[in-house]
A = this chain, B = another copy of it.
């Protein structure tokens, strides 16, 4: 990207990560840990393949990303963030939190969705209101790979991937799921739409935002 030519840390940051798609690539690598070219692409519906290759090169040149060959059996390349790259987490967090209100309206026509992306809304809405209680896990299913909410010690963390024997499991469309997590839809209404719930409902209330 063309430099802004300003001796300002915000401008310098945008010189590096201000290009279109760049921060979304960082998002995918942050959520996945390490990934192959094709996996990254799957998480970035709409990106042109040459742009992805360009950006990955750029990010590597800037020291935000490293590539290394996958362990022997497979002949593939793995991409992962460097420490400097992972330091962008506060940036993504801030952006993700700021963007949460846009999710309330539901997906726009044609919007793609991956359940990993629920991490920001989830962590923005939720908190553990019973810090003393034993840890609990919630499985979120909105199509594709599930996401797990780990509730313990006053915090709620969202991590991609399945889990064995969650305390409760929610399956619904992304929009309904967000409505439930944000407390804007109660469980009964959500069920009348497309929510399926299995397990202990009380775990939901433990982490939901306090009613308005």
**Chain A contacts to B: CB under 8 angstroms:** 3-16, 18, 20, 23-24, 27, 45-46, 87-88, 90-100, 102-103, 107-108, 110-114, 117, 120-121, 124, 174
Q: Are A102 and B9 in contact (CB under 8 A)?
A: yes
Residues on B with beta carbons closer than 8 Å to the beta carbon of A9: 95-100, 102-103, 117, 120-121, 124
Q: Please, which residues of chain B bring their CB within 8 A of the CB of A5? A: 45-46, 108, 110-112
What is the interface of chain A mostly: helix, strand, loop, or mixed?
A: helix
The interface residues of chain B lying within 8 Å CB-to-CB of A14 are 23-24, 95, 99
- Can you offer 19 A-B residue contacts whose CB atoms are under 8 A? A3-B108, A5-B111, A6-B112, A6-B114, A7-B108, A8-B114, A9-B95, A9-B98, A9-B100, A10-B24, A10-B92, A10-B95, A12-B99, A12-B103, A13-B102, A18-B23, A90-B97, A91-B94, A93-B94
A172 to chain B, nearest CB (A): 14
B7–A117 contact, CB under 8 A?
Answer: yes
Known contacts A12-B103, A14-B23, A20-B18; A45 and B6 CB within 8 A of each other: yes
Point out the residues of chain B lying under 8 angstroms from A13, CB to CB. 95-96, 98-99, 102
- Across the interface, which residues of B come within 8 angstroms of A96, CB to CB? 9-10, 13
CA distance A144 to B110 in the complex (A): 49
Check if B117 sits within 8 Å of A6, measured CB to CB. Answer: yes
